[in-house]
A and B are shown apart, each in its own frame.
Chain A
Amino acid sequence: MSTDTVTREAALRVITDALVDVGAERDAITADATFEALDVDSLDLAEVSQVIEEELGVRIGGKDVAAIKTVGDAVDLVVARAA
């Protein structure tokens, strides 16, 4: 999997699907939505991180997970790291 560039749309799509897989409501997932509001915790984000690495080739570690609060934060991080 290339890590050259990842579009925001691609990142949001992968992250949204992964969040739905761990139990979040698809309709509630927006860039502004906090993980807390989505009832997504650190264990869920460990699974989401694994999917991001598989699908987008971007590695998100434990420190990164601690720093991101919203879906938009995760998208920004993935796009920045892939650039």
Chain B
Amino acid sequence: MSHVVVTGIGAVTPLGVGAGTLHERWIAGNTGIEGGEAAAREFDPGDFMSRKEARRADRFTQLAIGAADEALQSAGWADGAPYDPERIGCVIGTGIGGIGSFEHGHGILKDEGPGKVPPLSVPLMMGNAAPGVLAMRHELRGPSFGVVSACAAGAHAIGTAMRMLRHGDADAVVTGGSEAALTPLSRAAFAALDAVSRSGISRPFDARRDGFVMGEGAAVLVLEDEERALARGARILARIVGYGATSDAFHLTAPDSEGRGAAAAIRAALSDAGKAPEDIDYVNAHGTSTPLNDRSETIAIKAALGEHAAKVPVSSTKSAIGHTLGAAGAVEAVATILALRDRIAPPTLGYEEPDEGLDLDYVPNTARPLGAGDDPLTGLSNSFGFGGHNAALVLEAV
């Protein structure tokens, strides 16, 4: 079986525009969180699209356009894709979709009546808008659709894209996740759930953690069949070697306190990759900074990796950029790929006070070299979502 490789990456995050920017600033210990929120402040839609294209896209789609432009350029597709367009798919995850457009339309409905609701409301707010727009923008005529699984959507999208390639449904898939939910309704709703940090601080695994910090962003990866990618002389950034997905079947918002579903997803991803726990050099945790997730995830990592769990560095991208919800799995896959490539474990920022039972190596506050010797490194990226959705990816540097 030919492997699935990553040939292009792009990201727009609260740390800035660009996958390299995310990586370098996180390694340096910078934070994208300001005033208890993590907006993609450096993103200007005008850098990527015309005024008309911007009008036709909710912010979550605009962020995906920015990330995809970078990803396709980094894959060497700037002058056009190297495959038959009908053999290129597009799968983009989101937690909510165009909620900003939804709220805008609803405001007009209440204030001015149904006759004034913008005709673009539906195409902007639909959760599949990002893959639809990307398919048009880059002439991707293979299978395209959205994936909706809350904060696991980005990872599910990548896993689904990987499966499409393995199955022969496509020669390449543009995949990732996007979210732009820093809106009044969404802020109020997450706050009402008591999921959001009242302190406005993201400090995963720390004893004082009190909820996640809302973020926004997007990441896109170009996945290709390895043989075809090599044949066209592509630069290969990493392989996606394992994907596991399970469900807690436990609670609508709370994770299973024993982490059973999460552990099963990690085991499934390892099995899919043909890897043992000892093969994992780095874990990019879901690490939301909520009291429940970080505890159950720690239990799950221990259950799935056994004795190796105590030896492997585990860090959370959300400590630097907050929780980008449906984009998180894709943003974190990109961050993991670059960490493995550069053999560096990025830090869990804000970690100072250990919590009882949360005793993994969380790489507190300072990045450090990763792995001994020269063998290519392997990483695990976890993503879990409201609804009890669990997805784990195993990524391998080349």
Contacts and interface: CB of A to CB of B under 8 A. Distances in A.
B116 A43 contact: no
Interface string A17-48: 00000110000000000000001000100110
Given A50-B116, A53-B115, A43 B52 contact: no
B166 interface: no
Contact of A22 (B55, B115, B116, B123): B55
Contacts of A54: 116
B50 A43 contact: no
B55 A23 contact: yes
Contacts of A43: 56, 119-120, 123
B115 A47 contact: no
Interface string B112-138: 000110111001000000000000000
Contacts of B52: 22-23, 39
A47 B117 CA distance: 10
B220 to A, nearest CB: 25
Interface residues of B, number: 11
B51 interface: yes
Contacts of A23: 50-52, 55
Nearest to A45: B119
Contacts of A22: 52, 55
B53 to A, nearest CB: 9
A14 B9 CA distance: 45
A69 to B, nearest CB: 20
Contacts of B116: 50, 54
Contacts of A47: 118-120
Nearest to B50: A23
Contacts of A53: 115
B265 to A, nearest CB: 40
B108 to A, nearest CB: 11
A43 B56 CA distance: 9
A39 B50 CA distance: 13
A37 to B, nearest CB: 15
Contacts of B56: 43
Contacts of B51: 23
A54 B113 CA distance: 12
Contacts of B55: 22-23
Nearest to A46: B119
A36 B52 CA distance: 15
A47 to B, nearest CB: 5
B314 to A, nearest CB: 47
Interface of A: 22-23, 39, 43, 46-47, 50, 53-54
Given A22-B55, A50-B119, A54-B116, 4 more contacts: A46-B119, A47-B118, A50-B116, A53-B115
Closest 4 CB pairs of A and B: A23-B52, A46-B119, A47-B119, A23-B51
Interface of B: 50-52, 55-56, 115-116, 118-120, 123
22 contacts: A22-B52, A22-B55, A23-B50, A23-B51, A23-B52, A23-B55, A39-B52, A43-B56, A43-B119, A43-B120, A43-B123, A46-B119, A46-B120, A47-B118, A47-B119, A47-B120, A50-B115, A50-B116, A50-B118, A50-B119, A53-B115, A54-B116
